[in-house]
Amino acid sequence: MAARKAGKFYVVWKGRQPGVYAAWAECEAQVKGYPGAEYKAFPTREMAEAAWQESYAAHRGKNTAAQQWLFAPNPPVTPSLCVDAACSGVPGPVEYRGVRLPEGEQVFRQGPFPGGTNNIGEFLALVHAL
């Protein structure tokens, strides 16, 4: 059986009964038809509870899903190999490299190659790393 996707949590700052709700139906009952309702969805209960302690203005128009990536729940996996590419112009000279972490040791560096793009460089770096 496939794992169920985690649901969102909803904060209602201004509605029939302000608070934090775990289901859209509950949130909707508080805000639908309520003039000037203020509410927002959050990906985790922790983020919703923290937002509830703040004002709606502090969260209006902000992408909460993107904020979740700012806080890594686990330490990075080490050892790791990180790759990156750079391109000067499109198309233009492209080069890429791979670095072992946490040591910071450069494992490979290729290029520059003429007529490339950054996407091509990133792809080549991934293939090289594999």
Interatomic CA distance for residues 7 and 105, integer angstroms: 41
pLDDT on residue 64: 60
| Both structure tokens of 86 | 């750079």
pLDDT on residue 67: 57
Nearest of 89, 87, 84 to residue 128 by alpha carbon: 84
Walk along the chain (130 residues) and give the pLDDT tens digit of each residue: 444 456 799 999 999 999 999 999 999 999 999 999 999 999 999 999 999 999 998 888 776 655 555 555 677 788 899 999 999 988 999 999 999 988 889 999 999 999 999 999 999 999 999 9
Interatomic CA distance for residues 94 and 83, integer angstroms: 14
CA distances from 78 to 18, 37, 74, 82, 100 (A): 44, 47, 12, 11, 9
pTM of the model: 0.48
The full set of domains in the chain, from first to last, is: 9-68 (3.40.970.10), 80-129 (3.30.420.10)
Identify whether the C-beta of residue 114 lies closer than 8 Å to the C-beta of residue 85.
no
